[in-house]
Structure 1
């Protein structure tokens, strides 16, 4: 028979609204932080010579949140954001409760093929910047657990070239400790700048 008795820890939580109020307040602050991050990324875009295609920026930014990514709350910013049926050009910044922030460049379809050669020769710069590459078949996993990612530095150059040809998409990502809350905007903009420089063959 199923047991519905609460543990002492569960009973202390459900008997008080305090934790939920704190959690909601923290998520509201993450949402605000993501809004500021979008402004900072857009400001960087206005001052770079990166050859954006118009459609890659026209969809604008999108901030979303939920409660159940691997059973934990999350907040996500997609900016820049371009998703079509076959092509993707997106930077996704995610806060995952109890774990970390992350930023992920997702390129898919013709966009990925357009930048594949630049990514091949960006190997050294991506390695030095500490980026990781996604290894799995399903592009919609976002965490660094369960062998989803590996450091590009752990791949040989030949393995890197092979990996870039394996799927119709590529995802490059970096995690940032939640303790870097005050620096996260600077951290993500710097990672974004590195990625655009690699794609633009500027090292």
Structure 2
């Protein structure tokens, strides 16, 4: 027989509409933060020679309630999602966990920058980036061994990682306790990535 009785913890939330109001207020502030982050990233990338095709899709901020059962907010900027080619920098807030910034390259875009990524091994490792290990490119979090620190890989293993799939994702988490430093932290990570991708000496 099903039990519909609330636990004391559940009842405390159900009887307190203010909890949801606070949650909605917090999400609204994350949306505002993402808007300011987009402006900061645009300024940081103003000297990077983006191809016109990558600028056809403008910035996008989206939100939802159920990434693995919890609310989330995502900024995709810059973003280009083609049938097989991807060039995207994704900044994500995941309720109760962390912020994440991720560079996602796929298809011909990944091939174009593969040499830059290989040669950028030491810079990526020093900056604390992690490489995505799983096969599904649409998992976003650091749970269940999805990522490994590039600094924990040998250079030869890193080169194999760059070439093993039709896509690659590099990411870095930022703890929620660093809320006031999120924009600066993600912008610095973005600048590091752009410098590696744009460094003609890397290839």
Structure 2 counterpart SS, 1:139: coil
What displacement does 1:179 show?
1.4
TM-score (norm 1): 0.97
Q: Answer yes or no: is 1:189 the counterpart of 2:187.
A: yes
Pairing partner for 2:131 from 114, 130, 133: 133
**Unpaired runs of at least 5, structure 2:** none
Structure 2 counterpart SS, 1:102: strand
**CA distance, structure 2, for counterparts of residue 72 and residue 133 of structure 1:** 24
Q: Answer yes or no: is 1:105 the counterpart of 2:103.
A: yes
**Unpaired runs of at least 5, structure 1:** none
**CA distance, structure 1, for counterparts of residue 45 and residue 155 of structure 2:** 30
Paired residues in the alignment total: 201
Q: Partner residue of 2:151?
A: 153
Q: Report Cα offsets for 1:21-75 as digits up to 9, x if no partner.
A: 00000000000000000011111222x2x22111112211000000000100000
Large movers: runs of 4+ above 4 Å: none
Structure 2 counterpart SS, 1:86: coil
What displacement does 1:14 show?
0.6
Q: Partner residue of 2:10?
A: 10
The answer as to whether partners of 2:45 and 2:194 remain within 8 angstroms in 1 is no
Matches within 5 A, 1:1-203: 1-46=1-46, 48=47, 50-201=48-199
What displacement does 1:180 show?
1.3
Structure 2 counterpart SS, 1:150: strand
Structure 2 counterpart SS, 1:65: strand
What displacement does 1:158 show?
0.4
CA RMSD of aligned residues (A): 1.0
Which stretch of structure 1 is more off in the superposition, 31-40 or 55-64? 55-64
Structure 1 counterpart SS, 2:144: coil
**CA distance, structure 2, for counterparts of residue 61 and residue 125 of structure 1:** 27
